[in-house]
Amino acid sequence: MPYRVTFVCTGNICRSPMAEWILRHHVEEEGLDVEVDSSGTGGWHVGDGADPRTVEALRRAGYRSAHIARRFEEGWFAAYDLIVALDEGHARALRSLAPDAGARHRIRLLREFDPAAGDGDLDVPDPYYGGVADFDEVLRLVEAAIPGLLDEVRAALREA
């Protein structure tokens, strides 16, 4: 059975699909038995593709993407081994939906996996109202957390 990771942001068109496709790239390269997807805390963009600026930032960095936005559902907690929020607001929203302590324990912030982030602000900023540089910054922050996240996934796979 594959290890399942989902990323969660606000509308599921900027940050979480970017993180999804970056992690997908790495688990596919390593041949890890991991399924990766994403969703949002809100339903404003359900059915939409990723923001074109997200797609372009991914393309410039050498990643592929294909995406249809969806909203995280309360009943999905049991389906995931790791639920990765892109900022503290998303983590709070997810914790409020979680049916039990076990589900809450599976919620983590992406930047917890970036040793350079320290104990300070662990939020990945929302680039939606910004420009190309803001999307590139999100990509940089996601990439910085991926090695630590991969370490966590590899360890979980060894334990399984």
Q: Catalogue the active-site residues.
A: 9, 15, 126
Question: Over the Cα atoms of the chain, what is R_g?
Answer: 14
Q: How far is CA 159 from the centre of its chain?
A: 22
Q: Are 124 and 138 in contact (CB under 8 A)?
A: yes
Q: Are 121 and 114 in contact (CB under 8 A)?
A: no
User: Closest Cα partner for 141 from 120, 121, 111?
Assistant: 111
